[in-house]
Structure formats: C-alpha cells, structure tokens
Amino acid sequence: MDATDGPPILKLGVEDAIAGLVLSTEAHWNQTEEDWRIFLHDGIVFGIRDGMRLVATAALLPYSGNNAWISMVLVSGTHRRRGLATRLVDACLETARKNGLTSWLDATPDGVAVYGPLGFTPTLQLRRLRLVRPARADAPPSSSASIAALRARDRRATGFDRTALLSAFAQRFGSRIVSASGAIALVRDGRTARHIGPLLADNAAAALAMVDTIAHSETGPLLLDAVASQAAFLEGLTTSGWTIERPFQRMRFGPATAAAEETPFAVAGPEFG
C-alpha cells in the first residue's frame, strides 16, 4: 500500500478525549480522560477513523528547548497490521521536523525494533513496576512541597521546562507533591492505579524511603516507572514487594538539545517522559 493510501490522517481536538480513552482502555493502559486532554490541548494528536469510530492515534507533546514527546501510539485490535501506527508516527516526525523539534519516546521492546531503523537513538532504560496494597493505609504524608520546587528539580533531571504538565498533574483531585530528606515526588490518579512520578532524590535511600512513605498511605495499587540505571533503588523496590511488569527504552530522534544535571529515580510515565 502506498503511504498516501488508506483512510486520511486527521488532527484531533479536545472533544475526542473520550474516544482516545476508549483506545487506551482497550490496550489496558493507565491514562485518564484528563491525561488525554493534556495531549489534545497542549500537543498535536493525529488520528484515523473508520467511519465515526476513532481506531488509531499518535501524539506529539512539545516541551521547552525544541523538544517534543511522541506517545499514545494506539491502534484498535480490529485495525492492527495495516500500517496505521507507522503512518501516524511518520506524521508526528514530519511535524517535529518542520518545527525543528528533537523527538523523544519510550518504546516497548517491540517498538525498539521499529523505531531503531527510523533513526531513533537509545538513551536510558526504564522499568514499569506495580505494587498491590491491602485496603488499609496510614495517614498520608504532608503535601508541603511546592510545584515550584518540583518544577526546578524536574528541570535539572530532564533538561526541559515542564511547568504546564506538572501543574496540570498537581491541580488534579487527589494529586499531591511529597517532599522529605532530599526527595520529592508527585502522586496522581490513573485509570486503574495511582502513579508515582516524577521522583527525584539525593540518593537511593532517600528515594526508597519516599516510596515507602507514599505506599503506606495508599489503599490501592501503585505504578512507578523506575530508571533502570538506578540499580540500588530498583533492587530495593523489588525486595519490598514491587513487581516489574515491563521494560521501556527511551529513544531520541535528532540532536540532543538539553543536558540533564541529575538522573531521576522515576519518571512521569512513558507517555510523558
């Protein structure tokens, strides 16, 4: 099939948030309607419809310093193996190229085999972990840390200014920013589990203590996307009952435009970086 054949690629709007949520729910992903609204409001989301039904998406979310995140590459089970994902990722890359943006993404092992030949370069590796908690919790830790403190620490770890994203997370019902002993983390709702991240800390012990404090104040399952090179942190999590679900490979298309001053212990999520 020629690249121009097939159903047209459309730019989606905020009114498509529920349709996007249907796709990510089918894939058993953890995104909420609010997550979709971030992509649709602050980024560019490409989609393909079959009649009125949205069957495939890919999003390009811009950050500072001429960087952008590619994510939400989803195809309904009824429409896979038709090249739709490739067409949509190509649309994201072409948009990034026209705007002089370096593109980033977090790929599954299958995705690495697709994105590598396109010219993406591997950077750090992630591990998605899950913790299932009993329905009992201690008093929640204080949410005394400010969004400004989280934003500043996040910028040192990523090289990006993500004020809009982090503020959107922090303003949600149930979100909290927790800080103690050189560690700071954001906790927010997901569709099926609460998510911890980003998590920044002076050392692995402080990061593990922060996760333990958060875990003992929650009643439901938790997700966390740990940086694999933080070996002591990762080992501490698995020893304390966290289970590794899947790996992700962070990849970059284009020149590095930002230098990180520290390595995070956990990221905001593979869809956000």
User: Is there a domain that residue 153 lies in?
Assistant: yes
User: Is there a domain that residue 118 lies in?
Assistant: no
Q: Which domain holds residue 35?
A: 10-100
pLDDT tops 90 at residue 256? no
Specify the pLDDT at position 243: 97
User: Is there a domain that residue 195 lies in?
Assistant: yes
User: Is there a domain that residue 96 lies in?
Assistant: yes
Q: How far is CA 230 from CA 71, 124, 154, 212, 240, in A?
A: 24, 11, 16, 17, 16
- The three-class DSSP label of residue 56 is strand
User: Is there a domain that residue 2 lies in?
Assistant: no
Specify the pLDDT at position 258: 76
Residues 52-103 pLDDT 10s = 999 999 999 999 989 999 999 999 999 998 989 999 999 999 999 999 999 9
User: Is there a domain that residue 240 lies in?
Assistant: yes
| pTM for this entry | 0.91
The count of structural domains within the chain is 2
pLDDT tops 70 at residue 136? no
CB contact set of 81 (below 8 Å; sequence gap of 6+): none
Q: How far is CA 186 from CA 45, 214, 226, in A?
A: 25, 10, 14
Specify the pLDDT at position 145: 77
User: Is 210 found in the same domain as 136?
Assistant: yes
User: Is there a domain that residue 182 lies in?
Assistant: yes
Specify the pLDDT at position 3: 46
Mean pLDDT of 93-118: 92
pLDDT tier for residue 120 given thresholds of 50, 70 and 90: very high
User: Is 158 found in the same domain as 70?
Assistant: no
